[in-house]
Structure 1
């Protein structure tokens, strides 16, 4: 027996497979492991709808706030700034400011501007409304995914369904408390707004209706701790959470949880300008339509940092910081369908899949040994190595194993041995033709290579297409198939060839073709 580079690479591949698959097989605390999907370990399946019409309203409100800040910063006098669900309207008091206002409005993408005298009206074009609604769904998908990643769930599935629906699958959610926490984190709008308290009329807030407040350009908001306590605030916010760059949980001087937040450069500038000219007044910190605090402004606040205090638990504060940090939802979402998958169903799926995997594995091994004798044993060594390498690669990348993924592994077992069937048949044909053992092995591999590459490359292309265009379950099948194909090309072609090279002299000396390849002569 002699060593060769092929057997060395094969041995290293087996060591790699054993080392990185061990944490998953032994379920150790340390090391990266394969995570089980929703169908294998249970969890939560939800179908969410997005109220995209609210995204358009939010966009209009943001434009109104920008116009207000621009006019104040440039000493442009405007009056009667109001907005509806699809337009903003205001009056320019000095005609000399028309050019400056129009130049500013031109930069607002997707807007249509009209002017009658000094009354300016801005609305969104039909194309921009469609784009805004589509962007709201895309942003909701990305925001929900970011929140769940920071929540600590492994491999959550968040995908678009149709035009305005989102599929969410959370594996590992087993208790009612975990489910409730995940649902609250997903659905929380996390819309932060800093709004000026209307100090001139706030004392009369309890005697005002919503329509009375709207007549003054105000809105009535409740206090987060006490719904009976009301605030009268300007409807157009000073700034919103779109200018937020970071949020984290902290503690006040009494060791109570609070949220620290930071604003971007534009937000810091607006915040500094407002607080500088509003000393002695109050600024309401509003989150999802409720006032968390309304502190007095004692001096100009620079640096673009602030705090949100409230009656939180530590867990609530952490989740709120996650929601703020991952971004506010442009449009509210609502639950359309919810389905819980119990761990017992997952256990049954695992059991059935393992029966199929082990049954197929044993049958393949028995057939190879019965039909090809020692050549079948060599093929089986490659097959076992292939499974370890497949599991190791999936563990290394933290892949999620689903039921279709298990089916992919079962199919990989058959495909992995297929290459060795082709190689063994080519070697047997050449032995029948009277070739020497060395030539039979070398030419057998050379002749089989084209058929093996054709079959594996075409299957690999199909797997890539399935991964690119398939949903979560199909992706799991495609991933296991792709890794299995690549691993089988390493083990079945390189590995077994190395073993034959190492044992070549022993095979020649024995002259027992029946023992080695299952043929007479």
Structure 2
């Protein structure tokens, strides 16, 4: 008698997979991958951030000024009085014949108003470009914060846009003050890296010069990160910005102090190499978020597109800065508008209520299936139990976060999991009532039920995919559990139960008792 078949073997492997990989979540063991609980189930930190979008416009203007400066130096064009005036860049071209070259370069940048008055040129953003830049700054901030938190190691943080300028951040599992402080610093750190030339001609006047006087020379005054009494006079327009950074890693110097090594992209490496070649003997200030971390003298041309930031970091601070640089600088600073800690008491109540619903629903479904479908109901219940184990296992393996809507999805899946078995068993019962033999009724029952099962599950799966694509955190959690439940139920119902019936077919044929097996005379 052939007991094992490929369907049954796959089903048995599914049972083993489900049990083994779901145990860490059910038993809450110290080892193995487990399902992470969402903010609503385990508590954590909820923050509302406001993006200062006007800063994004200023940052873009500064970037345009830097491009103009580099283009003029690269093409040996003579310009002077290059300055940033609120939302515009102005400069003077010494040779009128060179204006067409600069104008052609500026026309390649979208969204600019270019005003030429003799030898004076004024560049500003169009109103539409300013609005687009502000809107884009919020979207970029969402992605940047999400990337930082992912690299920080937090399980499934929720970062979503709210309104025109606000961002909602939810961090499950943040309970201590130290964890909250680290997360807040990582989120709010602009990580705006700039390489700026020190004004060597007037450097000795920095302690007697005001900000207004510095601005007259196109300079700004910055403090040292470790000692605010040490000041640097640097050119306002940076040589390079963090936009050109493609990698940043923590390392240690010769005295075993943490430093950050950064790598520039090809364009940044070329600009960096050209500048250092022309500036041997001068100082280059490494500026992070408006503070000078170091200002080493340039001894030779620096090629390779790499640099170093040192400034008395702790290992944790260096790690956070490196993460922020890798994930990109925030296009504009963010302001904390609201903060509240969510306690786990709601989670405990929610888990308890959901478990009661899950167990009650499970028991009712199991009892109904056994009473109405007899032994076929037991087969369906085996598939149902396997389905739950598979859902938990898959979610644990992918590190999914379980939220309250996700638990509702699991409860709903309990009912959906037996739906395919109900359709199959009813088809078998219909054929048995018509006098068909049990083996033939089983085969034709699965064949006849297949189309209805696929149609129902595929349409539900499509809706779940749409919910995941366009929904936010809690909706995504519901969509994930429903999707996994649908796929698992198709595996256990269509493949698994069919394999069980094939293995038991000799016994079923020998009994010839349709009522015992399928609850029909």
Bigger Cα displacement from structure 2, 446-455 vs 97-106: 446-455
The corresponding residue for 1:164 is 165
Q: CA deviation at 1:9?
A: 2.5
The corresponding residue for 1:352 is 353
Q: Is the 8 A contact 1:56 1:85 kept in 2?
A: no
1:371-390 to structure 2, matched below 5 A, reads 371-390=372-391
Q: CA deviation at 1:29?
A: 4.7
1:492-503 to structure 2, matched below 5 A, reads 492-503=493-504
Q: Secondary structure at the match of 1:276?
A: helix
Q: CA deviation at 1:48?
A: 1.6
Structure 1 alignment gaps of length 5 or more: none
Asked if residue 127 in structure 1 is aligned to residue 117 in structure 2, the reply is no
Q: Secondary structure at the match of 1:323?
A: helix
TM-score norm. by structure 1 comes to 0.95
The corresponding residue for 1:275 is 276
Q: CA deviation at 1:30?
A: 4.6
1:293-372 to structure 2, matched below 5 A, reads 293-372=294-373
Q: Is the 8 A contact 2:83 2:89 kept in 1?
A: yes
Equivalenced residue count is 520
Q: CA deviation at 1:378?
A: 0.9
Q: Deviations over 1:9-41 (max 9, x none)?
A: 222222232233233334445543322222222
The corresponding residue for 2:202 is 201
Q: Is the 8 A contact 1:2 1:503 kept in 2?
A: no
The corresponding residue for 2:22 is 21
Q: Is the 8 A contact 1:225 1:310 kept in 2?
A: yes
Q: Is the 8 A contact 2:438 2:512 kept in 1?
A: no
Asked if residue 251 in structure 1 is aligned to residue 266 in structure 2, the reply is no
The corresponding residue for 2:143 is 142
The corresponding residue for 1:469 is 470
Asked if residue 481 in structure 1 is aligned to residue 478 in structure 2, the reply is no
Asked if residue 2 in structure 1 is aligned to residue 14 in structure 2, the reply is no
Q: Secondary structure at the match of 1:163?
A: coil
Q: Secondary structure at the match of 1:414?
A: helix
Q: CA deviation at 1:118?
A: 0.5
Q: Deviations over 1:405-443 (max 9, x none)?
A: 111011000111122223333333333333322233233
Q: CA deviation at 1:320?
A: 0.8
Q: CA deviation at 1:153?
A: 1.1
Q: Secondary structure at the match of 1:232?
A: strand
The corresponding residue for 2:234 is 233
Q: Is the 8 A contact 2:192 2:289 kept in 1?
A: yes
1:286-297 to structure 2, matched below 5 A, reads 286-297=287-298
Q: Is the 8 A contact 1:174 1:343 kept in 2?
A: no
The corresponding residue for 1:43 is 44
* CA RMSD across the alignment: 1.9
Q: Secondary structure at the match of 1:2?
A: coil
Matches of 1:447 and 1:96 in 2, distance apart?
82
Q: Secondary structure at the match of 1:398?
A: coil
The corresponding residue for 1:190 is 191
TM-score norm. by structure 2 comes to 0.95
Structure 2 alignment gaps of length 5 or more: none
Q: Deviations over 1:195-251 (max 9, x none)?
A: 122222232223222212212211111111122322221111121111112211111
